[in-house]
Amino acid sequence: EKAGYKHFMQKEIHEQPRTVADTITGFSSSKDEKLFEMLKDTDRLYIIACGTSYHAALVGKFWIEKFAKIPVEVDYASEFRYRDRIIDDKTAVLGISQSGETADTRFALLDAKEEGAKTIGLVNVVGSSLSREADYVLYTYCGPEIGVAATKTFTAQLVALLLLALETGIKKGTTTYTDYEKIHEELLHLPSKIEQLLQKDEEIKEIAYRYMNASDFLFLGRNINYPIALEGALKLKEISYIHAEGYPAGEMKHGPIALIDEKMPVVCVIPQDRNYEKMLSNLQEVKARKGKVISVATEGDRQIKELSDEVIYIPKTSDYLYPALTVVPLQMLSYHIATLLGKDVDQPRNLAKTVTVE
């Protein structure tokens, strides 16, 4: 059942070219026009989720605000439930959950529904509680995810959120056809670009070997790749038990920079997008404090080599699509660090795949 892979997590990382492609196809073949009609009229969208799904939500916010021009607030479901949020009949709440059974997310969504919000679920498990409780449902088409660490469902959630943003944008007239087509075209190349990344398995394993004994890691990113820094840190801590923090790179000088010394690996998510220069100066700040820099950068970026201790190159894509690529080497890096340390990546201690208690 692991199809020749050592762990489910590894198998699931390697399934991503297919699950991304299936989610693109699945989205187009099951479009619910009523959902877009509803979103056209929505004044405020809350996205609620936990863990990795929460990180997908943070990326989704950028896309929905950009293409659909709906103000978005992202909340941890467990926080959303117990605060005074503002809900009226033009408010929609989108709950993202791989399992569709996470208690925090389900109950928060049900509460919002009762208060009059329109509810949408983005789930992987067909027929799950959340998919039955929400007014509208979107799916990721990944098949079962067995590894406790979410991997393939994260990239599929990203794809679904981007398509949701674009489709709403077109219906609402806030996105041009040219942009829509351009991004669609890039999306169709995503599976083969992920495939190229998966071929770097040995190279990433060697990097993992060089840093596996560090006791702390910092992950930095900016803008749409900031949530990827958070996701990279979560992946590492949950399966390797190494302490890791994700930070928006610009925030570093406001505190965390104090942590940096020659023992601290700092993973910089630095694709060549419009935040590149800013990210570069943050990277230089890390180097000036002798931190060990592991960069995830765009193929062809030569200067990054001189400034980093390690570089993992990713294929070039549109600025908006980078998160779906930058996350993949981070999944692979955590996987290798954890397995080299002899940890059980599919069943990490203290964790359950589905958390059905609040």
CA distance 35 to 37: 5
Q: Which is nearer to ligand M6R, 188 or 351 (CB)?
A: 351
Which tokens in the block code for residue 167?
A: 């489709």
Separation in Å, CA 48 to CA 68, 72, 110, 246, 267: 18, 11, 12, 19, 27
Q: Which is nearer to ligand M6R, 123 or 208 (CB)?
A: 123
CA distance 67 to 40: 12
CB of 75 to ligand M6R, least distance (A): 14
Q: Which is nearer to ligand M6R, 56 or 218 (CB)?
A: 56
CB of 106 to ligand M6R, least distance (A): 9
Which residue is closest to ligand M6R by CB?
51
Q: Which is nearer to ligand M6R, 267 or 280 (CB)?
A: 267
Q: Which is nearer to ligand M6R, 53 or 175 (CB)?
A: 53
DSSP character string of 154-175 = HHHHHHHHHHHHHHHHHHHT-S
CA distance 220 to 262: 17
Question: Catalytic: 292?
Answer: no
For binding to ligand M6R (CB under 6 A), which residues are involved? 50-53, 97-99, 102, 105, 148-150, 238, 351, 354-355
DSSP state of 309: S
Residue found by looking up tokens 């779906």 in the block:
324
CB of 354 to ligand M6R, least distance (A): 6
CA 229 to chain centre: 9
CB of 234 to ligand M6R, least distance (A): 6
Instruction: Quickly count helices (H) and strands (E) in the chain.
Output: 14, 10
Q: Which is nearer to ligand M6R, 50 or 242 (CB)?
A: 50
Burial call 85-94: b when 16+ CB within 10 Å, e when fewer:
bebeeebbbb
CB neighbourhood size of 240 (10 A): 25
CA angle in degrees (0–180, nearest 5) for 200-205-150: 80
Indicate which residue of 40, 113, 171, 353 is catalytic. Answer: 353
Instruction: Cite the active site residues.
Output: 353
